Amino acid sequence: MLAKFYGRHTQGFRIENITAKLRQAYEYLPDIQDRINQLEMTPAEPELFTKVEDQIGKRIAKEVQTEEQISAWQLLNRVTFIISHSIAQRHRARYQQNVSRVFGL
């Protein structure tokens, strides 16, 4: 869902389309909030950690591995934090697209 709004900074950006794009994004906010609520209520099961390892990367999976029970939302935040702070900028979009697939965004 969020991938529809992804763009590389100003690539393809046209000022005359900004109002329409903002309105379109605004319409998705209730769906986005519902998905966040679902992720907050869903425990991060071992299968989800396996998907992170297989589809996002072993190093990231190792860094987010924990003994404590966390929610899928907390796992998502940990993964995106690592991507934002440890992955070279030129590779981040690919990682974030994989994150979107793993977490059903």
The tens digit of pLDDT for each residue in 65-74 reads 888 999 999 9
In this predicted structure, what is the pLDDT of residue 29? 87
3-state percent breakdown (helix, strand, coil) of the chain, nearest 5? 75, 0, 25
To the nearest whole number, what is the mean pLDDT of the chain? 84
Query: Which residues does 86 contact at the CB level (< 8 Å), separation at least 6?
Result: none
CB–CB of 102/51 below 8 Å?
Answer: yes
* CA–CA dist 25, 83 (Å, integer): 24
CB–CB of 52/61 below 8 Å?
Answer: yes
pLDDT at residue 87 greater than cutoff 70: yes
Q: What is the pLDDT of residues 35-82, one digit of tens each?
A: 999 999 999 999 999 998 998 989 888 888 888 999 999 999 999 998
Phi, psi of 43 (to 5 degrees): -70, 145
Would you give the end-to-end CA distance of the chain in angstroms?
6
Greater pLDDT, 2 or 88? 88
